[in-house]
Structure 1
Amino acid sequence: MKGNNAKWMYLFILSIIWGSSFILIKKILIGLTVFQLGSLRTIITGLFLFAVGYNKLKNISNKEWKWLIISGFLGSFFPAFMFAIAGNEIDSSVISILNSLTPLNTVLLGFAIFRITSTKRQVLGVIIGFVGTALLILKGAELNPNQNYMFAGFVILSTVMYGLNVNIIKHHLQNVKPLSIATGNYVAIFIPAVIVLLFSDFFSEATFQNPAFKMSIIYLVILSFFGTALSKVLFNKLVHMATPVFASSVTYMMPIVSLMWGILDGEGFSMYQGFASVIILIGVYLSHKPKPKMV
């Protein structure tokens, strides 16, 4: 498959997987606490990755390990808890929409810290996509006036971390295989996750007696395998084959998937939000439309 077609395929697959992650988080929180969800998600994902990628770590240099550790905490550990915290207060579809700030932060941080330049078309596409995201947020707040949007700050902070992580992978880990990056990330954050779990009251009688416990664990395993382990490898591959902005633009596609799940779960949706979703797609197209070839 040609590189240009392959990167769009990865983008589409990731948008489906990650767009479905937010409704899974919502369902998991019925039977587990925020810290149980975040720690177990990290532990289960780590076990999946260790099983298939542990032997890939031997060729990673000490210099690369430094960036793998930082990448693990910024791109996986802290966001796992922050999205769970936000999920207790805000609809899953709105969280996905807020996550669309990631490409904007990727461009800004890439320029400010890593001196990665972006074309005018990329910047325009990010701005248009951000406008669509803002419209979705405003309508979401109108439809859900009882939700505490102060918790949106956790999602926004996560998008800053994601923006840093994408640039770190592109700038410092370009020569490390995608599976090695994902596995190395979880080597770094596995023990901290175990420590959090031990202090989360997960092993208490009340946790296991919760009627929603079994289904929460099933949803958690699905989220950990597809929404974290598999998607991390696919995303790292996408970062290698495309620009950081293109890779992070998966967060523009995710809200559409998440909104569909939200509708099925009884969350509010309007034609106004549908219009905003179209604006987001236009932003994605403009950001990554190939430059015309010189004749």
Structure 2
Amino acid sequence: MNNIKSKWIYLFVLSIIWGSSFILIKKSLLGLTPYQLGALRIIITGFFLLLIGFKTIKTIRKPDWKWIIITGVLGSLIPAFFFAIAETEIDSAVVSILNSLVPLNTILLGFAVFKITSTKRQMLGVIVGFIGTAILILKGADLNPNQNYLYAIFVILSTLMYAANVNIIKKHLQHVKPLTIAAGNFAVIIIPAIIILLFTDFFSAKTFEKPEFKMAMVYITILSFFGTAMAKILFNKLVHMSTPVFASSVTFVMPIVALMWGYLDGEAFSLIQGVASIIILLGVYLSHKKHPKRS
């Protein structure tokens, strides 16, 4: 009974943390460029993870480092920049809904690239999810003509990278502890993040003199600690105490939290976009619904 309660508590907390990440990115962009935000998110998160997981890195075997590097780049480095770039043109709530395509793309890539078989119901979920995505983007462009919905491609590409990351970890790094993978990832990607930050004029007086700079640093620190470092640990624990199917259901609640933040921040959201969001979540549900047991 305690284990069941713990699973739901972890799920709820993760939904709040990840659902709030998108508004934190939006607020951070008021005082930082997308490249500064992406680099700082990696650097600050890396600091936290290496602080608690540095000793575990020495347990990584040489053959595993190739996959550690690939999952670090696909699962954290590039998406950190892509999400920041996307939110310069698209509302945070819409970005959060597009992010819910991750489990659908995991199934799609698992079938197409990693030869992991999928059921008809899962494939139906993929189709339904992409229909919802198309409606969301097209209607969003009509509702918000000042926003460039072509930037949705950055989010969609990120969900494909997240999906590849999950499949690679499952196939090649199943024997490595979650904290070790995360620490190894950030030990590698923190180096290019520092280099990128050095080329963004972050350390110039012009950046520090911005009135929004101080609050942007507060937002990015909160995002890095809670939305990336702490969330990775909590999610790994949730997977450990339950199942990947249950853990991935966090994607159902995340958009609801993000929509609430977006509404409170004055973001426009139409009824049709709401319907499209439900269609996307229906696709996610279908892709994760188990077959009924036959007697």
Q: Corresponding residue for 1:187?
A: 187
- How far the C-alpha of 1:251 sits from its partner, in A, is 4.1
Where does residue 105 of structure 2 map in the other structure?
105
Q: Which residue does 1:165 correspond to in 2?
A: 165
Instruction: State the alpha-carbon separation in 1 of the partners of residues 204 and 104 from structure 2.
Output: 42
Residue 139 of structure 1 and its aligned partner are, at CA, apart by 2.9
TM-superposition CA deviations, 1:148-195 (whole Å, max 9, x none): 122222222212211110101111111211111111110010111111
Counterparts of 1:289 and 1:21, CA distance in 2: 27
Cα distance between partner residues in 2 of 1:256 and 1:146: 24
Deviation at 1:87, TM superposition (A): 1.2
Structure 2: unaligned runs, 5 residues or longer = none
Q: What percentage of residue pairs aligned between the two structures are identical?
A: 69
Q: Which amino acid aligns with 2:82?
A: M
Residue pair 1:37, 1:220 contacting (<8 A) in 2 also: yes
What secondary structure is seen at the aligned counterpart in 1 of 2:225?
helix
Partner Cα distance (2:8, 2:128) in 1: 19
Q: Distance in 2 between matches of 1:186 and 1:58?
A: 14
Shift of 1:254: 2.7
What is the TM-score with the length of structure 1 in the denominator? 0.89
Residue 273 of structure 1 and its aligned partner are, at CA, apart by 3.0
Moved more, 183-192 or 172-181: 172-181
Over 3 Å counting, the alpha-carbon distance change for 1:236 and 1:133 in structure 2 is: farther
Secondary structure of residue in 2 paired with 1:90: coil
**RMSD in angstroms over aligned alpha carbons?**
2.5
Give the Å deviation of 1:278: 3.3
Map 1:19-58 → 2, pairs under 5 A? 19-58=19-58
Larger deviation: 83-92 or 124-133?
124-133
Q: Would you say the 8 A contact 1:43–1:193 is kept in 2? A: yes
Residue 137 of structure 1, CA deviation: 2.6
**8 Å Cα contact 1:106-1:248 kept in structure 2:** no
Tell me what 1:136 maps to. 136
Residues in 2 aligned to 1:99 and 1:194: alpha-carbon distance in whole angstroms: 26
Q: Tell me the amino acid that sits aligned with residue 277 of structure 2.
A: S
Q: Structure 2 counterpart of 1:262, which letter? A: G
The letter for the 1-side match of 2:83 is F
| Equivalent residues of 1:98, 1:137 under 8 A apart | no
Offset at 1:237?
4.7
User: 1:147 corresponds to which residue?
Assistant: 147
SS in 1 for 2:100: helix
* Cα shift readout 1:262-289 (whole Å, capped 9, x = no counterpart): 1000001233333333334433433333
Partners of 1:258 and 1:249 lie apart in 2 by 15
**Deviation, structure 1 residue 2:** 8.7
Alpha-carbon contact 1:125-1:284 (below 8 Å) kept: yes
* TM-score normalised by length of structure 2: 0.89
What do residues 107-165 of structure 1 show as CA deviations (whole Å, max 9, x unaligned)?
12111221111222322333333333333333322211111122222222212211110
CA gap of 1:277–1:157, structure 2 versus 1, over 3 A, is: closer
What's the counterpart of residue 60 of structure 1?
A: 60
In the other structure, the counterpart of 1:287 is 287
